[in-house]
Structure 1
């Protein structure tokens, strides 16, 4: 099926792209979960529109250069199984735009929802002084926290220089580089010694079996940001055991675990984790308060990490 030619409209191109994508053995999950939404993302980006642009009219005619770009992206999406965000170079998180490339995961964490709610009821309207994000990637969670907590300073870490460079670009474009400081750090190693009101992390948590079964799209993402050993806890376990020393007295730790949450509760069954529920989809995120972390004997409850 040939791509519609100018004066093709946005709607005609979305219909064409959807048909192409729907007949290919693709995996979704990098911002969309179906061919129609993926087609709309590709077409709108190729035509120069943001997905929430109020000027979008389905009957808008698309010029020849944009049609060529859209056609090339759809072909690569099918043949190379590239996530759409890597093709367009853009993704959105918590309503904010971010540049993305293969140094970073495509933003898709359910953490956007509790961040927007300021982690109520634990924090809510209580002002915060300092926030730490561990494993920032493109900077999306740190930026969302800076927006939700305008009174706070944010530190954000990563171990990948390419990710840190991209995060710096994103923070500058969002006007947040004066409040978000980037650090090359492995968990807490490499950070200035200070305590935080809130620590947030979407760390690597994919277990060995799940890594082996990942669809092709996910294999374009950095493996070091996904894989976390046999049970998915290679990063989460040391993060939990150390975080209490980096939180203020009434501080809060929030971590996304994906399906590694089951292994976590099996390892430390008496650890008082609260698992969040989401209105807009998602699971596998826990909250724990600093006093509960500091009061827990990790060596006595299950095997230590």
Structure 2
């Protein structure tokens, strides 16, 4: 360990340089080397995550310097996403426990839930039942419980391991009475009921894109990312079955990332409303129950 490093500024500068030299890939919570370095340094030193400047000239103990060096090297050497190193993820002010059993929370649907899906839903307090498919860490189910305070929230995932993480987050938010978890394949484990709203950030990465994923993203569960040849395997099933699970005025909201061209090729002619997010206007779509195909049970 280099003993010429003594301040937070020294370690922060070193981390940015190290991350850039290693050509790390970001986007799983932080957008660039600067943000990632600030987060990891502040987290490791148990300092407020949004307050770097007042601590830049603080001199550190040798044990503190060693701890920061260690997490910087783990990030570089193993290319582990920061969230897996710290076991935490932040999403619009919400804090979630995460580990490699779940995809790191970053869904674009989260920014819509902060706004209670306005104007798509004009009376959010009237919702009584919400379903989230492919819940992973449970982050969107938890945010839905806050956005729609009078609704019961059901959340489904195929992975029993992911649901263990989701249950921990639900416990942390004291939402056990309102958020129910179901293990199984999409709608299969649910008791028959109808929902005012179904949301989902399903696996949608197509096979060619899966081959090109950076190492950081390959640490995430493949089951949470891979959507088949055109990325639409799971989405096809959700769209074909959702009508049976929605109220007459219910809506289905699906995140599809960069797969708009594949989605439109599969569902050409289906009326779609694209919801604006910080990533643009072609990553999250809304479908009305009345427009969805009616499939017999």
Report if aligned partners of 1:130, 1:154 keep a CA contact under 8 Å in 2: yes
Hey, what does 2:66 align to over in structure 1? 68
Q: Is the 8 A contact 1:118 1:125 kept in 2?
A: no
1:241 matched to 2:240? The reply is: yes
Correspondence for 1:124:
122
1:52–1:171 Cα change, 3 Å: farther
Instruction: Report how many residues are paired.
Output: 293
Residue matched to 1:213:
212
CA–CA distance in structure 1, aligned partners of residues 53 and 21 of structure 2: 30
Maintained 8 Å contact 2:193/2:245? yes
Q: TM-score, normalised by structure 2?
A: 0.92
Q: CA deviation at 1:62?
A: 4.1
How far apart, in 2, do the equivalents of 1:55 and 1:193 lie? 54
Q: Distance in 2 between matches of 1:184 and 1:215?
A: 29
Q: SS in structure 1 opposite 2:233?
A: coil
Corresponding residue number in structure 1 for 2:154: 155
**The residue matched to 2:292 in structure 1 has which SS?**
helix
Q: Which residue of 2 aligns with 1:229?
A: 228
Residue 141 and residue 274 in structure 1: after superposition, are their counterparts in 2 closer, same or farther (change >3 A)? same
Q: Report if the CA contact (8 A) 1:117-1:124 is conserved.
A: no
Q: Can you list the C-alpha shifts for 1:43-98, whole angstroms capped at 9, x where unaligned? A: 11111235247997444454443332221111011111111100111101231111
- Closer/same/farther in 2, CA of residues 55 and 153 from structure 1, 3 Å limit: farther
1:61-210 correspondence to structure 2 within 5 Å: 61-126=59-124, 127-210=126-209
**Quick one: structure 1 residues 12 and 177, their matched pair in 2 at CA, closer, same or farther if it must change by over 3 Å?**
farther
Who is 1:302 aligned against?
none
TM-score by length of 1: 0.90
Question: Which digits, 9 at most, give the CA deviation of each residue in 1:128-155, with x for residues without a partner?
Answer: 1011110111111111111111111111
Q: Deviations over 1:181-202 (max 9, x none)?
A: 1110211001111111110000
Deviates more, 1:195-204 or 1:175-184: 175-184
Is the alpha carbon distance of 1:50 and 1:30 closer, same or farther for their aligned partners in structure 2, counting shifts above 3 Å? Answer: farther
Cα offset, 1:269, TM superposition: 1.1
**Greater displacement, 196-205 / 282-291:** 282-291
Structure 1 stretches of at least 4 aligned residues deviating more than 6 Å after TM superposition: 53-56
Structure 1 residues 56 and 100: CA distance shift in structure 2, 3 A: farther
Q: Distance in 2 between matches of 1:51 and 1:255?
A: 31
Give CA deviations for 1:262-304 in whole Å, capped at 9, x if unaligned.
Answer: 11111221001111112x3355110011111146x9xxxxxxx
| Contact 1:204–1:224 (Cα < 8 Å) also in 2 | yes
Q: Which moved more, 1:218-227 or 1:64-73?
A: 64-73
- Distance in 2 separating the partners of 1:225 and 1:131: 21
Could you say what secondary structure the match of 1:104 adopts?
coil
Contact 2:133/2:198 (<8 A) preserved: yes
Describe the superposition over 1:146-177 as per-residue Cα deviations: whole angstroms up to 9, x where unpaired.
Answer: 11111111111111111101111111111222
Equivalent residue number for residue 272 of structure 1: 271
Instruction: Answer yes or no: is the 8 Å Cα contact 1:49–1:56 preserved in 2.
Output: no
* Aligned Cα root-mean-square deviation (Å): 2.1
| Aligned equivalent of 1:27, options 7, 20, 25 | 25
